[in-house]
Chain A
Amino acid sequence: MVPISQPPKPAPVKDPARYLSVQGAGMVFDTRNGAFCALRDIDLDVARGEFVSLIGHSGCGKSTLLNLVAGLARPTSGALLCAEREIAGPGPDRAVVFQNHSLLPWMTCFDNVHLAVERVFGGSEPKARLKARTHDALALVGLAHAEHKRPGEISGGMKQRVGIARALAMQPNMLLLDEPFGALDALTRATLQDELMRIVAATGSTVLMVTHDVDEAVLLSDRIVMMTNGPAATIGEILPVPLPRPRDRLALSHDPVFIDCRSAVLEFLYQKQKKTAA
């Protein structure tokens, strides 16, 4: 067995409270109709092992911010640091779970995960161990039985789990989730949220998640970053969620802290940042 639950491996960071540091980041896109300012003045620190959610109305630039952290886009102003190094591009230390799973349809689930494992560990580990890692990652999300199926042969929830397995198998320093459960039905979503909580607790991962689901944000996060409406969106409020872990969704539904947090987010979204043009 490969110990998948081992904590992230990088050299000790001087300031673990600022593991990810976004400093005055802004993003202006050049469009046909001129410059479009998507984000401005984003300042955010994420501590090692923290679970932070980005929430806001659609078009508020939360996915853009995630892409900046992923390195898929570069900010037009400001800087992003991860483990005290500037984020210069995408890399396997910041694994992304995409909204639409983004599995390669011509490969089996095993091969999809193996591609990532091979990239990260291929230089240093024998083949058998790479296979074991792949297998373990799929087992962790409960898909050992479906390894040899192609994405087209499994359900949406299973595909999303393979996407999560692919990200986890890379043992990233940060896990970036872009509305990972947005396309799933409510029951599947709840199951996967519980699994994600279990996995994150076991791996101690640092997570940044984009969501538009208030319950999801409160249930999973240590802090919720609420974004103002775009264009030129920025961080409106940051809400800490002081709920102890492990969290149980059934017990929480009557917990006053949970209810308060939920109300605070709803208030922000539907009063302070009410969408004028729906």
Chain B
Amino acid sequence: MAREDSMSAVLNPAIGKTPMRAIDGAAPVTPRTGTAPAAAPPAASAAAPAPRPAAVPASVLAERRARAARVVAPLAGFAVFVLVWQMIAHGNSAIPGPAKVWDAALAIFGDPFYRKGPNDQGIGWNVLASLGRVGIGFGLAAAIGIPLGFMIGRFRFLDHMSGPIISLLRPVSPLAWLPIGLLVFKAANPAAIWTIFICSVWPMIINTAAGVRQIPQDYMNVAKVLNLSEWKVFTKILFPAVLPFVLTGVRLSIGVAWLVIVAAEMLTGGVGIGFWVWDEWNNLNVAHIIIAIFTIGIVGLALEVGMVALARRFEYA
């Protein structure tokens, strides 16, 4: 895992770091601050003159403390977050407080799949519409990016040929691609999908190519000594060896795709969580915007966690 993360961070600093910190960083960092008060009493009693309660080994105590901290620390984080939010809402009447948003969320999530016309549908439909676009755009990107990455990694000429173009196009903002999509496809939906595609294809190309380039020479020597056919080399050695890198690329791409879709939908309209945010802004319904922000965050988190779990299944050590 560590290797892949550093990998991805190197290849794609802007995208790689933010989501990973948010998930992985929370667990190891916070316990230390969170434990301090909770840890004090048991430590004190263990050191006290009465020796019998010390029957519980120190390691078990430490583990319990760590486990408690893992639960307490995130809760404390949320509490601070809600408190700050409440204070901001108190000082600025335009921003609804947590209680108000909670009530609105209950109403929205109470009926997520209603349809009252093309521009007024439940949040469930909006999320599904966005996920659908991400799925198609991302799927196309995977179908093209992964094989392309394999070729770029395998053939140095292709690598040198494509390198400058990829470096040039990769940092371009997703929204800059949208007009091209609109121009070519003359419709909002394919343009949004196009934007997803063009933004999520790069991490997959780059990571797959890096994976192919980094295949240990030992594995290729095995292939040479056995005189394996090209097909066997691909299925038995190349593909399994590169798979962890491919999955890193896929994970980064899904993150990018989900970031991009909200922006794209704001501009193209239709059904979708991004458009919904824009719609609610036009309605000046700030509570719904905050709900949308949380929803986008939770869905993005779920995609990320799902991909990490998938990647973990293909780790060999």
Give A residues with C-beta under 8 Å from B: 70-72, 89-92, 94-96, 98, 100, 102, 104-107, 115-116, 119, 150-152, 170
Contacts and interface: CB of A to CB of B under 8 A. Distances in A.
A205 B136 CA distance: 58
B219 A104 contact: yes
A150 B316 contact: yes
Interface string B284-317: 0000000000000000000000000000000011
Given A100-B218, A115-B236, A105 B226 contact: no
A136 to B, nearest CB: 19
Interface in B133-170: none
A205 to B, nearest CB: 16
Secondary structure at the B interface, as helix, strand, loop or mixed, is helix
Given A92-B226, A92-B227, A115-B226, A102 B316 contact: no
Given A106-B316, A119-B226, A96 B221 contact: yes
Given A150-B316, A152-B317, A92 B240 contact: no
Contact of A119 (B218, B228, B240, B316): B228
A250 to B, nearest CB: 35
A193 B189 CA distance: 68
Contact of A102 (B219, B228, B232, B236): B219
A102 B227 contact: no
B225 interface: yes
From DSSP, what is the main secondary structure of chain A's interface residues?
A: loop
B90 interface: no
B221 A152 contact: no
Nearest to B236: A115
Given A104-B236, A104-B237, A72 B221 contact: yes
Nearest to A105: B316
**Contact-size category for B:** 10 to 19
B222 interface: yes
Contacts of A102: 218-219, 221-222
Contacts, number: 53
A121 to B, nearest CB: 12
Contacts of A116: 226
A98 B218 contact: yes
B225 A104 contact: no
Contacts of A94: 225
A104 B240 contact: yes
Given A104-B237, A104-B240, A115-B236, A95 B316 contact: no
26 contacts: A72-B221, A89-B224, A90-B224, A91-B225, A95-B225, A96-B225, A98-B218, A98-B221, A98-B222, A102-B221, A104-B236, A105-B317, A106-B240, A106-B241, A106-B316, A107-B240, A115-B226, A115-B232, A115-B236, A119-B226, A119-B227, A150-B316, A151-B316, A152-B316, A152-B317, A170-B226
A84 to B, nearest CB: 20
A72 B232 CA distance: 19
Contacts of A105: 316-317
A115 B232 CA distance: 9
Contacts of B241: 106
Contacts of B224: 71-72, 89-90
B316 A72 contact: no
Given A115-B236, A150-B316, A152-B316, A104 B227 contact: no
Contacts of A107: 236, 240
Contacts of A150: 316
A87 to B, nearest CB: 12
A98 to B, nearest CB: 6
A94 B226 CA distance: 9
A152 B316 CA distance: 7
Contacts of A152: 316-317
Nearest to A106: B240
B229 to A, nearest CB: 9
Interface string B264-277: 00000000000000
A91 B226 CA distance: 6
B216 to A, nearest CB: 8
Contact of B222 (A71, A104, A106, A151): A104
Contacts of A90: 221, 224-225, 227
A107 B232 CA distance: 14
Contacts of A70: 225
